Structure formats: structure tokens, C-alpha cells
Amino acid sequence: MRLLPVLVLSTSLGAALCSTPLFSAETLSAQPTSARLRAQLDSLSNAHRGVVGYHISNLETGETLTRRADETFPTASLIKVPVLVALFDLAEQGQLSLDDPVVLTNLDKVGGAGELQYLRTPLTLRLWDVAWLMTTLSDNTATNLILDRIKIRRVWQKMEALGLPHTKVHSGSMTRIASVAPDSSAKYGLGVTTPAEMARLFTLLAQGKAVSPKADSTMLEILRHNGDDTKLLRFNYGVRAAHKTGDVDAARTDCGVLWLPARVVACVMTKENADTRYWAESEGNAVIAHIGRAIREAWGAPPR
């Protein structure tokens, strides 16, 4: 059994959780589930030293909670989900095969997240292998190998076709100098989206409408193996979830589908975080983790 790390709360967030609540127990108990949950989420968001946006939907009841949902945020590695969707879309159309070979060379390697940068070359992989590493380990080198194959503009076209015009990948990972949108890249980094658009993408995946029922089911299964449980899943060990996280300087993100058992699509994004440290207990991770716990307590059973 994995042992979860102890969460160190920021001063402001800890105060919000430990001090006298903004709403009395009697008031909260008299409110509908969504109203109680909104009060909790806004209390957490207001206490955070940064900007929090979210779009959270219970697909079974139709309840939806939003905060800054149409505002643009840096995606960090969350943008790798649109890259994955574009790849599977091309495979669905027969323009490529996930069994196609990909040859890794030393020139392809970039730093940051992932393991391909440490492997000996030349190394032949399949597109499926590369997509798995991009999604589950957030491998930056794998991401670039896929973007080299499918091209950045193809990701834009697929997102626009799905009605997600603000969701853009700007460049390969760690290669901002080659950005196709330098101004937006300078502001948002690797990619940009809104909580509402990313929540919409995961909703389409859950409904089998992003590419096809079979392709979407496969992508969700890959996303279920995301290795980062420092955010939405921090206090939700044992909860089935298909999600993707992102970490970059002043932004932390996590979006996905949670089976509680009701299907809940949750997208929580932060920016302008005062705490920019790259560790599990950063304040951006903490606020997303507590939002994840509040969602589960409102709409699900206790975790195993």
C-alpha cells in the first residue's frame, strides 16, 4: 500500500480550514449539496495566495459549479490531453497508426519530466508507447516526439472542431523558442485553456464524443494511470479517476473524470501562485487537493 505524503498547509489555507468556518454547520446542512460544496470551494479559493478557477460537473445530476471558468489559465502539462486527443483522432481517421515506429535520438531529448531523456539511443518505440509515457509520466521528450509527428496546428484544429477555441498548445516541451504563438507562449507557457473548456473536453471523453467511443475509452484508461496523486487525488486514495495534472512555476492544474460513484468532471486550475516551489506540498497543489476532497465528500463515498 502506498503511503501518502503529509500535506503541509499554507498559512492562509490552513487558517481557512482550521479557524471558525465562514458558514455555520446549521446553515450548511440546510443547503442543497451543490450550495454547500460551492461554499466550501469558494472558501478554499478565497484563502489561496493566487488565482483559482474551476469547472465541476456532476454528470448524473446535472449540477455544475464554476469560478472563473471562462478565464484563460496556463495549462502546464495538462495541455498534453489535447495532444493525446489529436493523436487518437488521426489514428481514427487512418492517417497514422499507433503501431507506427518512432525512433528516439539524442537530439530529441529534453529535460524536465519523463524518463526517455535517460535512455540509450537510438531507440525504436511505437506511437502507442510514446503516448503512454506522455500521459502517465508527463514525459516531455515523448510529447515532442508526438508533436513532431502530428504537428501543433493539428491539435489546434481538433480543439476548434470540438468547440474549444481557447485551448492551444504553443510549442514542444522545453522548446519555447520554436513557439508558433510567441506572445501567447510568453504569457502562458506551454499551453493555454480555460477551466470550462478543459472540463468540456473530459466530458466529451466520458461521453465517447471526443473521437469515438472506443478511442475515448482507451484514452480514459491511459489517463487512469497518471502517476501524480498530489492534487485532486491527494485525499482520495482508492477513487477511480482518469485525470491529468500540470506543474509550472506559478501555476498548478488538475482535470479529469472521477467515479464517486457518480461521474464527476472536475477541472481546477491555478495561476499567479505566491508559492512557486516544485514539491508535493506547494500551495497550488494543496488547494486543489482540498477541493478534490470536498468534491468527494459531497458527491461520493469515503475513499478506501
| pLDDT for res 32 | 63
Residue 34: predicted pLDDT: 84
Q: What is the CATH number of the domain that holds 267?
A: 3.40.710.10
Same domain, 105 and 183: yes
Q: Rounded mean pLDDT of the chain? A: 89
- Check whether residue 159 and residue 205 sit in a common domain: no
Do 156 and 264 fall into the same domain? Answer: no
**21-35, 61-75, 269-283: range with lowest mean pLDDT:** 21-35
Per-residue pLDDT at 160 exceeds 70: yes
> Is the pLDDT assigned to residue 64 strictly greater than 90?
yes
Q: Can you give the pLDDT at residue 23?
A: 38
Query: In the listed set 191, 217, 249, which residue is the last one of a domain according to the structure?
Result: 191
Asked if residue 298 and residue 215 are part of one domain, the reply reads yes
Residues 303 and 232 in one domain: yes
Asked if 187 and 204 sit in the same domain, the reply is no
14-25: average pLDDT = 41
Same domain? 80 vs 181: yes
- For residues 207 and 180, membership in a common domain is answered with no
Res 7 pLDDT > 70: no
What are the pLDDT digits (tens) for 175-198? 766 787 788 888 888 899 999 999
- In the chain, what percentage of residues exceed pLDDT 70? 87
Residue 88 clears pLDDT 90, i.e. is over it: yes
Same domain, 34 and 126: no
The last residue of a domain, from among 191, 208, 241: 191
Total domains present in the chain: 2
* pLDDT tens digits, 122-142: 999 999 999 999 999 999 999
Domain housing 205: 1-71+194-304
pLDDT for 261 equals 87
Global confidence as pTM? 0.87
pLDDT at 25 over 70: no
Distance CA 52, CA 50 (A): 7
User: 205 and 61: one domain?
Assistant: yes
Residues 204 and 302 in one domain: yes
Domain boundary among 156, 191, 226: 191
